[in-house]
Each structure stands twice: as structure tokens, then as C-alpha cells.
Amino acid sequence: MSHAAPRPLSVSARGPLRGTLTVPGDKSISHRALMFCALAVGESRIRGLLEGEDVMATAAAMRAMGARIDRDADGTWRVHGVGVGGLLQPEQALDMGNSGTSTRLLMGLVSSHAITATFTGDASLSKRPMGRVTEPLSQMGADVRSSPGGRLPLMVRGLCPAVPITYTLPIASAQVKSAVLLAGLNTPGITRVIEPVPTRDHSERMLRGFGAEVTVEDSPEGKIISIHGEAELKPQTIEVPGDPSSAGFWMVAASIVPGSEIVIHNVCMNPTRTGLITALKLMGADIVEIDAREVGGEPVADLRVRHAHLKAIEVPADLAPSMIDEYPILFVAAAVAQGRTVARGAHELRVKESDRIAAMRAALEAAGVQCEEFEDGLAIQGSAGAPLAGGGSVASLLDHRIAMSMTVAGLAAAAPIAIDDVSPVATSYPDFFETLHALTGAAQ
């Protein structure tokens, strides 16, 4: 998947956001839905799948390894799985585009199958560390040959049968946890992951839903997640709830643009994903959960968000795992809050689609916001509700969340903010700009 032609955009302030919207399907759940359906025996259906480039990279890879995946005209996806243990040798390198989740989880799957796969990606993904998954997967018997620094392109030669391990996560990462659990799916015996700090638990929830034997126990070392190998997954009908990370852009946009009031439908409220809502409420945001319910084994709610006068906070570091993708947009909220917001303990931001600490510092400073950079976070001086100066040029660095966050910053800026390339938005939120237009257009 080569990167699309750059799409520059100049964003200026516009009227309040008003109306109701739904956000696209959750990215983490969409990747896992395709992978697990492709490993079930028989036909599964997925509704509400995120049709962004990252998830399409997962679909292409699962097709290359033998699954049949089709989209009906009504948007339902039908997947004919090959069964755990049934993945076929892909004929060509698997192009993961921009998607770290596809790469790391699929490396896990390949590790315990008797196949070899080469993984390639775009310039952003090729800079990201893969050693964090290579290490446990090698312990299970996979032979991984990576480029210098443990990066892409890399080749995984799986071992079947692989060796079950007990692995304590050295960093809070749902991708590493999931890679080991997915390798454990086709490994005889019990594979265990010990998670000292809880991270998103979609793999555990969904695998159980597909009929795998997955147990989670608390221990003094953290959660112990065990998967019984040589599992048989039963086909499912999956309803993917809305992505709380995508909803975050509208939560902040409505909070900072005076006169805004929106309702976001069908947002996944899994507690391992709601850190941004907690942080924004601490800042004084007016976010109300309506009609809390369960969809497909995940808690879901509609969220009403109104403009509010935000106050600076010290962002609790223990929220980091549950809002790790939301720091860029939280930094935008901090830029218009009253006072100095400090966010520390988020070192992982350095190895996302971009170095999000450096990228957001540069972007916000270009928009006239005073920042202080730490190794593990940022301090941001807020404008106390006044418009940001704006007027600067921002580099999105192949990072969808930098592009969307700075678009939202532009809504609260006196002079337009020029973003060099918003095309990466298509990786996770293809309709982002249509939705922005609909929400602001309704008030014009």
C-alpha cells in the first residue's frame, strides 16, 4: 500500500458544531473481528466494520493467507474462515501500510503456523519498533529476521507446534499482549500473558465470544490471561461499536468551540478505552452518557457533548493506557483551557505513527501555543478560552491523529492552520471531513 498523494488543508475557525453523528467502527475491534472470523470454521458476518486503510490491510493479509472476505452492498462483511492452524503460505509480502496493529497481531498469528510471511509497511510503520513482539514470539519458537533496529521489512517463519510460554509484559501494550495470545491460539497447552498494567482487552473478550478458552485472573503481579491452545473458533455475527478514539475528536471540538452541542451515537465505552472522557471531565467538560447498553459484548453509550470552559489539569499518569491514542487531541483541549496542563508518564507516545510528543509540540507551537517538552509528555499553556493565534504550518508526519487533532485546533484559531497532508486520516476515519462539514455546516 503506497502512500496516497499528499493532501494539504488549511483549516479556519467556523461556527459551533451541532447535530448528531455516528463514528466509524472501532479500529481495534475491526482488526480483531476480521482476524478471528478468518480463523473460525465457516461463515461469519461483521456489521459496522471500520472501512479505513489500516483495517483493509488486515483484510488483504487474511485473504492472502486463505480466508474469503467479501462485502455485501448493505455494508455487511462476510468472512469464510480457514480454521485455527489452517492459514496458508502467502505468496507475496504482506503490505501493512501504516498499521502497527495489523503487523504485530499478524506476526503473532503467523508465529504458530507452519508458514513464512514477510511484512512491509510505509515510511512511518518502517520506523516503529517490532522487537517488543519479536522477543516473546521467538521464545515460542518463531524465527524472525528483521531489518536493523528490529524494524520492518521483516520475515517471520512460524513453528508448528509452537512452544507455550508465560510472558510478563515489560511495557503496557495491548498489541504485544494480543500477539502472544494469538500465537497461543494454535499452540498446544496454555499460553499466559501477565499484564502488570491493564490495557485494552478486546482480544480476550472477543476470543471468548468465538468459543476459545480464555481465563483472566488477578494476581499480585497483575492480570494473568491464559489461552488454551489448539482452539476451535466458531463463526459469529459481530456488531462493531463506534470507535471512542474517533469520537474523541468531536468531544474536544464541541468542548472548545462556543455554542456547540452534539450527540455522538453508539460509542464503545469499554473502561480500557475511556481515559479521554475521564480526563476531559476532570477539566470541566460537559459530557453526558445517554442510554448505556451492551452491543456485541462491549459496553456502549451515546454521548451528549456541549461547549464548556475547560480548566488545566495534571493528567493522571495512570490514565495513559486507557487514552494512549487520545493524547494528541487532549493536548488540543489543553491549548484552550485555563492554565497549564501537564501530561507525563506517556513515553509510549514516542513510538506511535509519529513521535507524538515532538509532533504535537511542533504543531501546537506553530499555532502559537506555548509548550514544554519532557521525555514522557508535554506541558501546555492554555489560552483560557481565547482563540489560538493559528497561522502556522503543521507537518502531519504520516500520522492520522496529528492531522485530525490539528484540524480541530484550527476550529479554535484566529488565523487558519495549514496542515501539509491530511491524507493519513483515511487510515482510521475516511469520513472525518464530511462529518466535520455536516456538524459545522448545520450551524452556518
| Residue 147 is assigned to a ligand binding site | no
| Residue 177 is assigned to a ligand binding site | no
As measured in angstroms, the least distance from the Cβ of 412 to ligand S3P is 25
Residue type for position 178:
S
User: Choosing from 325, 399, 421, 431, which is the catalytic residue?
Assistant: 325
Nearest-angstrom CA–CA distance, 285 and 298: 24
Place of cell 455546516: 441
> Does residue number 175 form part of the binding site for ligand S3P (CB under 6 A)?
yes
Helical ranges in 186-235 per DSSP H: 202-209
As measured in angstroms, the least distance from the Cβ of 380 to ligand S3P is 21
Nearest-angstrom CA–CA distance, 2 and 20: 34
| Per-residue H/E/C for 141-163 | CCEEEEECCCEEEEEEECCCCCC
Nearest-angstrom CA–CA distance, 254 and 258: 8
Near ligand S3P by CB under 6 A: residue from 113, 200, 307, 361: 200
> Does residue number 117 form part of the binding site for ligand S3P (CB under 6 A)?
no
Indicate the residue among 298 and 325 with the shorter CB distance to ligand S3P: 325
Nearest-angstrom CA–CA distance, 227 and 208: 9
Nearest-angstrom CA–CA distance, 3 and 122: 7
Place of cell 517471520: 156
As measured in angstroms, the least distance from the Cβ of 353 to ligand S3P is 8
As measured in angstroms, the least distance from the Cβ of 347 to ligand S3P is 11
Backbone angles phi, psi at 14, to 5 degrees: -145, 175
How buried is 386 (Cβ within 10 angstroms: 0-12 exposed, 13-18 middle, 19+ buried)? exposed
DSSP SS3 for 50: coil
> Which cell numbers hold the place of 261?
452541542
Nearest-angstrom CA–CA distance, 184 and 59: 21
Indicate the residue among 173 and 383 with the shorter CB distance to ligand S3P: 173
Near ligand S3P by CB under 6 A: residue from 9, 23, 24, 28: 28
> Does residue number 178 form part of the binding site for ligand S3P (CB under 6 A)?
yes
Q: Give the full edge-to-edge strand order of the sheet including 417-419.
A: 9-11, 417-419, 393-394
Indicate the residue among 120 and 322 with the shorter CB distance to ligand S3P: 322
| Residue 173 is assigned to a ligand binding site | yes
CA distance to 168, 306, 319, per residue, from 52 (Å): 32, 28, 27
Indicate the residue among 183 and 324 with the shorter CB distance to ligand S3P: 324
Nearest to 249 by CA among 122, 386, 401: 401
> Does residue number 173 form part of the binding site for ligand S3P (CB under 6 A)?
yes
As measured in angstroms, the least distance from the Cβ of 335 to ligand S3P is 22
Examine the residue annotation and report whether 325 is marked as an active-site residue of this protein. yes
Q: Which stretch binds ligand S3P (CB under 6 A): 138-146, 174-182, 261-269, 413-421?
A: 174-182
Near ligand S3P by CB under 6 A: residue from 11, 117, 152, 174: 174
> Which cell numbers hold the place of 33?
473481528
Q: Which residues of 375-385 are buried (b: 16+ CB within 10 A; e: fewer)?
A: ebbbbbbbbee
Q: Which stretch binds ligand S3P (CB under 6 A): 170-178, 187-195, 230-238, 406-414?
A: 170-178
Indicate the residue among 44 and 175 with the shorter CB distance to ligand S3P: 175
Q: Which stretch binds ligand S3P (CB under 6 A): 82-90, 169-177, 256-264, 298-306?
A: 169-177
Indicate the residue among 28 and 407 with the shorter CB distance to ligand S3P: 28
Nearest-angstrom CA–CA distance, 15 and 34: 39
Region 325-354 residues binding ligand S3P, contact defined as CB under 6 A: 325, 348
As measured in angstroms, the least distance from the Cβ of 26 to ligand S3P is 9
Near ligand S3P by CB under 6 A: residue from 23, 206, 324, 364: 324
**Contact predicate 251/217, CB 8 Å:** no
> Does residue number 401 form part of the binding site for ligand S3P (CB under 6 A)?
no
| Residue 350 is assigned to a ligand binding site | no
> Does residue number 268 form part of the binding site for ligand S3P (CB under 6 A)?
no
> Interface residues with ligand S3P (CB under 6 A)?
28, 101, 173-175, 178, 200, 324-325, 348
| Active-site annotation, residues | 325
Annotated binding site for phosphoenolpyruvate: which residue ranges? 27, 100, 128, 175, 356, 401
